[in-house]
């Protein structure tokens, strides 16, 4: 069970005139004068991850007169939407979707960051963004992940990989499948085509896009109805493990059916924190061109300011700085230590973490941001659903129907695009900016 968090909020909106008058008459002390202002951070991490981030946040209380409180939730999009609807946003929210952040910036919900934070806001995690004809920086990466990876058990051989597939993830089910399609397209067609597709400038019926879908189906091979149903209802974390009190055990450790390889992001190493599991670049498994072996898909958790508080902008600057990253790494368990985008940042010390961090910071030629997280939310959600439907029925006719639907959603999103838009470049970049 995830630890519940108590959220403190500033008394700054919706305060009656009578209360304000009473404060003026009674003096500041009667209304809490002298107490430090509390800033609220909303983020995606719960359980041990959330506890480590919260502990780091509390250690940032360093006499500036500000205190910070963290609200962690697995339903980040819904929670943030409800708070915005109630006109009570968090000071800072941490999101992994560039598409969502772009829509918030376009709607005037975000406050541009200070100069100090923008120095750490390099592509592909923070591509240039134009709003109302002005180029500003609205978010900065706090934690990043490498996606183009394949995990396997050492010593467990097979004539061909038997792929582990778990597509369930509550409201966002399907994203493990979109990761497959994106990664295949990146390695077959290259970063330029990938960027045009992710930013809505390439049809879903383009032969390169269509080939990525059919390649995925071919890699997975023939599957029984029972196997398909199991993958659609199995979490990406695998099945519960009684030895862990019902916690996840990882797809590679699921007793039946046994699988040998898993295509998954670097974050999954918390389930495989032992030397019996090896991790390899995904390029060698995807049937792509050797010229694109140095390209990797990545993801990130970005901090943005949702209020006009100068202290909130200063907090984002501090969260993205070396002190916060050093504290965060110290508070987290070894297998949960976050990855950061710069080689000068504190990095994991375990062998698997070091290898992944090396690819992220220096080893890759090109890093490309997760395509579905670049897309407008409506198109991203349609992509998730389409992957689930295609996994159930990978026929050519069904694929054509799904690509028609996705092109329709793409056209609608393009027509609705307002004064803020992503460029056709910037979501792929060399390591370290």
Q: Are residues 61 and 110 in the same domain?
A: yes
Q: Are residues 345 and 376 in the same domain?
A: no
Per-residue confidence (pLDDT) for residue 63, from 0 to 100:
63
Rounded Cα distance between 418 and 433, Å, is 28
Q: Got the DSSP string for 323-382?
A: HHHHHHHHHS-GGGPPB-SSTTS----SHHHHHHHHIIIII-SEEEE-HHHHS-HHHHHH
Whether residue 12 lies inside any domain: the answer is no
Q: Identify the sign of the CA torsion 25, 26, 32, 36.
A: positive
- CATH number of the domain encompassing residue 182: 3.40.190
Rounded Cα distance between 148 and 264, Å, is 7
Of 328, 357, 386, the residue at which a domain comes to its end is 357
Confidence of residue 256 (pLDDT cuts 50, 70, 90): confident
Q: Are residues 24 and 109 in the same domain?
A: yes
Please write the tens of the pLDDT for every residue from 1-13: 333 333 333 333 3
Of 315, 335, 357, the residue at which a domain comes to its end is 357
Which residues does 416 contact at the CB level (< 8 Å), separation at least 6? Answer: 376
Q: Are residues 43 and 133 in the same domain?
A: yes
Confidence of residue 31 (pLDDT cuts 50, 70, 90): very low
Strand order in the sheet with 129-131: 134-136, 129-131, 420-421
Q: Are residues 121 and 256 in the same domain?
A: no
Per-residue confidence (pLDDT) for residue 378, from 0 to 100:
94
Of 308, 336, 357, the residue at which a domain comes to its end is 357
Per-residue confidence (pLDDT) for residue 419, from 0 to 100:
57
Count of other CB atoms within 10 angstroms of residue 326:
13
Mean pLDDT of 389-397: 98
The two tokens of residue 199 are 């930013």
Whether residue 305 lies inside any domain: the answer is yes
Whether residue 362 lies inside any domain: the answer is no
Q: How far is CA 89 from CA 83, 102, 315, 319, in A?
A: 5, 17, 16, 19
Please write the tens of the pLDDT for every residue from 138-171: 999 999 999 999 999 887 666 789 999 999 998 8
Q: Are residues 285 and 341 in the same domain?
A: no
Q: Are residues 251 and 183 in the same domain?
A: yes
What is this structure's pTM?
A: 0.89
Rounded Cα distance between 290 and 97, Å, is 29
Whether residue 178 lies inside any domain: the answer is yes
Q: Are residues 317 and 271 in the same domain?
A: no
Whether residue 230 lies inside any domain: the answer is yes
Radius of gyration of the chain (CA): 22
Whether residue 363 lies inside any domain: the answer is no
Q: Are residues 213 and 279 in the same domain?
A: yes
Q: How many domains does the chain have?
A: 2
Q: Are residues 133 and 250 in the same domain?
A: no
Rounded Cα distance between 328 and 406, Å, is 40
Lowest mean pLDDT segment, chosen from 9-18, 87-96, 201-210, 279-288 = 9-18
- Position 64 pLDDT exceeds 80: no
- CATH number of the domain encompassing residue 93: 3.40.190.10
Q: Are residues 164 and 269 in the same domain?
A: yes
Mean pLDDT of 100-112: 94
Whether residue 101 lies inside any domain: the answer is yes
Q: Are residues 397 and 248 in the same domain?
A: yes
Q: Which domain holds residue 158?
A: 154-296+368-429
Whether residue 287 lies inside any domain: the answer is yes
Rounded Cα distance between 54 and 71, Å, is 9
């Amino acid at each position: 069970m995830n630890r519940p968090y108590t959220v403190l909020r500033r008394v700054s909106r919706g305060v009656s005139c009578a209360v304000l008058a009473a404060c003026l008459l009674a003096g500041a002390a009667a209304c809490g004068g002298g107490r430090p202002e509390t800033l609220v951070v909303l983020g995606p991490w719960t359980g041990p991850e959330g506890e480590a981030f919260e502990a780091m946040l509390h250690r940032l209380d360093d006499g500036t007169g500000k205190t910070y409180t963290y609200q962690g939730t697995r339903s980040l999009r819904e929670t943030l939407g409800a708070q915005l609807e109630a006109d009570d946003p968090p000071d800072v929210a941490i999101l992994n979707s560039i598409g969502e952040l772009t829509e918030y910036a376009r709607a005037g919900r975000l406050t541009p960051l200070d100069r100090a934070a923008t120095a750490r806001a390099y592509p592909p995690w923070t591509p240039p963004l134009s709003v109302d004809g002005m180029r500003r920086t609205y978010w900065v990466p706090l934690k990043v992940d490498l996606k183009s990876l394949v995990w396997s058990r050492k010593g467990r051989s097979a004539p061909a990989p038997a792929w582990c597939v778990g597509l369930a993830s509550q409201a966002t089910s399907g994203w493990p499948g979109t990761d497959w399609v994106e990664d295949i397209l990146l390695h077959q067609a290259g970063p330029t085509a990938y960027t045009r597709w992710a930013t809505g400038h390439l049809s879903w019926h383009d032969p390169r896009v269509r080939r990525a879908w059919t390649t995925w189906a071919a890699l997975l091979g023939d599957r029984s109805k029972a196997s398909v149903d199991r993958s659609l209802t199995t979490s990406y974390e695998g099945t519960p493990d009684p030895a862990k009190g019902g916690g996840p055990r990882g797809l590679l450790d699921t007793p039946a059916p046994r699988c040998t390889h898993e295509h998954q992001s670097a974050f999954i190493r918390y389930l495989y924190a032992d030397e019996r599991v090896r991790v390899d670049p995904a390029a060698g498994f995807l049937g792509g061109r050797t010229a694109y072996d140095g390209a990797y898909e990545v993801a990130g958790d970005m901090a943005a300011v949702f209020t006009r508080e100068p202290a909130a902008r200063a907090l984002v600057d501090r969260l993205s700085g070396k002190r916060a990253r050093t504290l965060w790494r110290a508070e987290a368990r070894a297998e949960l230590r976050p990855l950061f985008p710069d080689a000068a940042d504190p990095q994991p010390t375990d062998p698997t973490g070091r290898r992944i961090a090396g690819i992220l910071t220096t080893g890759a030629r090109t890093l490309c941001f997760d395509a579905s997280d670049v897309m407008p939310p409506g198109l991203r959600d349609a992509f998730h659903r389409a992957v689930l439907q295609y996994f159930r029925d990978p026929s050519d006719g069904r694929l054509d129907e799904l690509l028609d639907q996705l092109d329709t959603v793409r056209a609608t999103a393009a027509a609705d695009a307002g004064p803020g838009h992503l460029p056709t470049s910037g979501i792929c970049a060399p390591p370290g900016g």
